[in-house]
Amino acid sequence: MNRPKEPTLIDALIPVVSLILMLFLSVKLFGSDSSAGPNQIVLTLGAAIAAIVAIQNGHSWNDILAAIVDGIGTSMGAVLILLAVGGLIGTWLLAGTVPALIYYGLEILSPQWFYVAACIICAIAALSTGSSWTVAGTLGVALIGVALGLGLSAEIAAGAIISGAYFGDKMSPLSDTTNLAPAVAGTDLFTHIRHMVWTTLPSFTIALILFAALGLGADVQSDSSSLQALKTTLGDAFNITPLALIPLVVVFVMAFRKVPPLPTILFGALFGGFVALVLQPEAVLAYADSPDLTPALAMTKGVWLALANGYSSSTGVPEVDNLLSRGGMSSMLVTIWLILSAMAFGAVLEYSGMLLRLVRSALAAAKSTGALIVTVVLSCIGINIIAADQYIAIVLPGKMYKAEFQRRGLKPKNLSRVIEDSGTLTSPLVPWNTCGAYMAATLGVATFAYLPFVFFNLINPVVSIIYGITGFTIERIEGEPEAAIAQ
C-alpha cells in the first residue's frame, strides 16, 4: 500500500484560502447573524475541501473520517461545559442569583469606573480559580447585566470581563493553559509565570488605562430615577437577598479547591435550582405556569424548564425582561454546532499534515530571534483561527519550535511565554474557536462586537513581539552564541 504524499504549500493553502473567502462572503451576506448558521456551513465546506485535497494526496476517506471524529472528540469537554453553563445561567436567573448580583452591582459600581472595576474583579476571580470560563459564566453574566442597567456598552463591558478573566487565567498556577505551555516548551511552571510578568503586567496596565478612559468619557444615559425603577422591578420580581449569592460562593469554593470545571458548573446549576425552590417559590410556580399540577410537581417543572430552556422574564418592563430572559442548555446548541464544524475543519488539516506544512513554511522565513518570536506569535494566532482550539495553538507551536529555540541558544521560558501571550490570549477573539464561541454565547455579545475592546488580549501579543524584536527580557542559555541564521 502506497504511503500518502506530503502536502505541498499550495495544498495547505487551498482549504485555508477557501475558508477565508467563504467567511468573508458569509459576513458580507449575513452580517452579525453569520455565526447563527452561515459560518457553520462555511467551516463544513472548508473541511470538505481539505478532505478532497487529502484524498488527492493518498489519504483514505475512512482515515479522514476517523481523524474528524477524534478531533471533534477533543472538543466534547468544552461542549459539555457549554451545556452546563447554559443550565447554570437559567437556574441562577430563576434563583435570583443573577438579579441579586445586578441589584447590588447597581448600588455599588460607579458608571465612570465600571469597566475598570469589572476588569479587576474578573482578574482577581480568575487568578484565584484559574478558569476564565468559570468567571465569565458566573460574574461575567451579572456584570453584563449591571452594565446594561447603568446604560453602558455591553460590548465594552464584555471586553473588560474577558480581559480580566484571561489575565487571571494566564497568570494563575491553577490554570490548565498556564501549566500546559511550560510543559510543552520544556520549562517549569513558576519560571514560566515569573517570565510572563514582563509582558503581562504592562499589557494589563495599558488595558486598565484604556478602560478608565472609556469609562470617564462614557455618555451614561441612565439617570437615578431609571436606576431606581430597575432596582424596584428586580425587587418586585425576586426576593433580593444575600442568600441568593450562595450558589456563586459555592462555585468559587469548588473551583478554588481544584474541582474540574464541568462538575463544578453542573453542580452550580443544580444547586441554583435548589436555591430557587427555597428563595423564589412564587417565581418558580409562575414560570412553570401549570396550575393543574401539585405545587411540588409545578416547581420541579419550573426548575427543569430553566435548566433546559433558560429563564423567561415577564415583569412587563421591556428592559428587565430583555436583560433576564436567557440561558438554558438549548441556547448553546448553535454555538456547539459552530464548535463541531470548526473542529472538523481543523482535524482534517492537522491529520493530513497541511497544518504542519504551513508552520514549517513560516519557520523557514524566520532568520533572526525577533523574526522567530514573530513567527511563533503568528503561528499561534493562525492555529487558533484554523484549528479553532487554544490547546492545539499551544501544543503544536510548542512542539514545532522547541528544538529551534534550543538550537539558537534561547531559554525554553521564552517560548512558553510567547505561546501563552499569543496562543492563549487570542483564542477568544476567533468566533468559531471554542473560547470565542463560549464567550459570545455566555456573555450574549458577538465575538466581532467585543473584539475591539478586549484590550489586554490584543495588546499582550504586540508587547511580546516588541520584546522579541528588541531582545528585551529574551534570555539566552549561558555559553550559547546566537544563531543569526536559521538553517
* DSSP string for residues in 164-189: HHHHHHHH-TT-HHHHHHHHHHT--H
> Rounded to a whole number, what is the distance in angstroms from the first to the last CA of the chain?
34
Angle at 441 between CA 440 and CA 443, to 5 degrees: 65
Q: Which whole number is the average pLDDT over 10-15?
A: 94
* Residue 410 phi, psi dihedral angles, 5° rounding: -100, 135
| C-alpha count within 13 angstroms, C-beta hemisphere, residue 26 | 22
Contacts of 72 (CB under 8 A, 6+ apart): 340, 343, 344, 347
In tens, the pLDDT along 413-458 reads 999 999 999 999 999 999 989 899 999 999 999 999 999 999 999 9
Residues with Cβ within 8 Å of residue 134, at least 6 apart in sequence: 126, 251, 252, 255, 261, 264, 265
* Mean local confidence (pLDDT), 157-178: 93
Question: Model pTM?
Answer: 0.81
Most confident of 67-81, 121-135, 148-162: 148-162
| pLDDT surpassing 60 at residue 325 | yes
Backbone angles phi, psi at 182, to 5 degrees: -65, -30
H/E stretch holding 255: helix 246-256
Read off the pLDDT of residues 93-137 as tens digits, 9 standing for 90 and up: 999 998 998 888 888 888 889 999 999 999 998 988 888 998 998
Q: What average pLDDT does the segment 139-149 reach?
A: 90
Determine the Cα–Cα distance for residues 77 and 158; give it in Å rounded to an integer: 24
Would the pLDDT of 232 be above 90? no
Per-residue burial over 49-65, b if 16 or more Cβ lie within 10 Å, else e, is bbbebbeebebeeeebe
Residue 45 host element (H or E): helix 38-56
- At 326, phi and psi to the nearest 5? -170, -175
Whether residue 30 contacts residue 42, with contact meaning beta carbons closer than 8 Å, is answered with no
Mean pLDDT score of the chain: 89
Which residues make beta-bridge pairs with 37?
Answer: none
DSSP string, 65-119: HHHHHHHHHHTHHHHHHHHHHHHHHHHHHHTTHHHHHHHHHHHH--GGGHHHHHH
Cβ 19 vs Cβ 354: under 8 Å:
no
Cα–Cα distance measured from residue 338 to residue 64, given in angstroms and rounded to the nearest whole number:
20
Q: Are 427 and 384 in contact (CB under 8 A)?
A: yes
Q: Is 222's pLDDT higher than 60?
A: no
Contact 313, 321 (CB under 8 A): yes
Short-list 132, 144, 123, 121, CA closest to 327: 144
- For 319-355, b/e burial (b = at least 16 CB within 10 A) is ebeebbebbbbebbeebbbbbbbbbbbbbbbbbbbbb
Question: Looking at residue 245, what DSSP letter applies?
Answer: G
Question: What whole-number distance in Å separates Cα of residue 285 and Cα of residue 303?
Answer: 9
Does pLDDT of 82 surpass 90? no
Tell me the average pLDDT across 218-245: 80
Q: How far is CA 119 from CA 73, 109, 116, 135, 462, in A?
A: 33, 12, 5, 11, 20
Residue-wise pLDDT for 353-408, tens only, equals 998 888 788 777 778 899 999 999 998 998 898 888 888 889 888 888 888 899 89
Residue whose grid cell is 457553520: 40
HSE (side-chain half, CA atoms, 13 Å) at 190:
0
